[in-house]
Amino acid sequence: MWIDDAKELESVAIKFRQTLVDITYETGGSYLGQALSASDLLVGLFYHYLRYHPSEPDWPDRDRFLLSPGHYALSLYVMLADLGYFPKNILYTFKQNGSPAELATHRGTLPGVEVTGGSLGQGLSLGVGMALHAKLRGKKHRVVIMMSDGELEEGQIWEAAMSAGHYKLGNVLAVVDANGFQVDGSVEDVMNIEPLPDKFRAFGWEVKEIDGHNMLEIFNALEVFSEPHQKPAVIIGRTVRGKGIPFMESNKAFHYTRMDKKQAEKAEEALSAAWDAV
């Protein structure tokens, strides 16, 4: 599915958030705050940027999407199910024994999941390797890596960033969900990583810093990087953890979220009200 209208993408993102809340409540918990912060960026990528065939998950010319923070898994599962990679009822088996929808992404369990997650900081290295392989063989697909700002504290990230710049991997696009939080508190307090734009530029990357919840800005940034460039590119999306649900927004108590009925109803009310703004 391809959407060329930013307003329509906003509507998709609201629906996406409603599904995330419902599954989190019904299955007893998820990393919901992170899934909500990344929702707009993911919708922009899957509905306006990436090339893929849900009916042929291993299509050789598909763009590769790598979810580096594997605990964002539910957000990827909801997106893939909506696009037709697998039946939506599988979402409601999330993290149950024997379910292919595991708490953290695992390659080989569900179609469309390209890499195993869980250990933070590895996604960019994997993506750089895939992109270099593609460049050396004259392949035209792109490699997109979604990262969280917390995992950018890992040294391996910057080794990969240096390699991507050195080999001029213009087929690489990194997207950072910079929501400002990690398990032990704010990223600024745990290990400050700013200024991120300057760091990536120093390694030879093209950089776009945007409001990660402004769909028009997401739309425009993706348009800029719609075709391979001479350099690797990164979109730094400044986001809010728990976006769309007031009692969760930037609340460090919601790293992993379990919702009672009252909280689920409040969350649904907030998201239903968001339709009026679209």
Q: Which pLDDT value is given to residue 253? A: 85
Q: Which pLDDT value is given to residue 4? A: 82
The full DSSP string for the chain is -----HHHHHHHHHHHHHHHHHHHHHHT-B-HHHHHHHHHHHHHHHHHT----TTSTT-TTSPEEEESSGGGHHHHHHHHHHHTSS-GGGGGGTT-TT-SS-SS--TTTSTT--S--SSTT-HHHHHHHHHHHHHHTT----EEEEEETGGGGSHHHHHHHHHHHHTT-TTEEEEEEE-SEETTEEHHHHH----HHHHHHHTT-EEEEEETT-HHHHHHHHHHTSS--SS-EEEEEE--TTTT-TTTTT-GGGSSB---HHHHHHHHHHHHHHGGG-
Query: What percent of the chain shows pLDDT beyond 70?
Result: 98
For residue range 202-221, what is the model confidence (pLDDT) as tens digits? 999 999 999 999 999 999 99
Mean pLDDT along residues 97-116: 95
Is pLDDT at 277 greater than 70 in this prediction?
A: no
Q: Which pLDDT value is given to residue 227? A: 77
For residue range 182-205, what is the model confidence (pLDDT) as tens digits? 988 889 999 999 999 999 999 999
Task: Categorize the per-residue pLDDT at 47 as very low, low, confident or very high, splitting at 50, 70 and 90.
Answer: very high
For residue range 60-76, what is the model confidence (pLDDT) as tens digits? 999 999 999 999 999 99
Mean pLDDT along residues 83-92: 97
The chain-wide mean pLDDT, for the chain, equals: 94
Task: Categorize the per-residue pLDDT at 107 as very low, low, confident or very high, splitting at 50, 70 and 90.
Answer: very high
Q: Which pLDDT value is given to residue 158? A: 97
For residue range 117-172, what is the model confidence (pLDDT) as tens digits? 878 999 999 999 999 999 999 999 999 999 999 999 999 999 999 999 999 999 99
Mean pLDDT along residues 11-17: 94
Q: Which pLDDT value is given to residue 2? A: 80
Q: Which pLDDT value is given to residue 144? A: 98
Q: Which pLDDT value is given to residue 226? A: 85
Task: Categorize the per-residue pLDDT at 245 as very low, low, confident or very high, splitting at 50, 70 and 90.
Answer: very high
Q: Which pLDDT value is given to residue 278? A: 59
Q: Which pLDDT value is given to residue 274? A: 76
Q: Could you give the domains of the chain?
A: 6-277 (3.40.50.970)
For residue range 258-276, what is the model confidence (pLDDT) as tens digits? 999 999 999 999 998 876 6
Q: Which pLDDT value is given to residue 263? A: 94
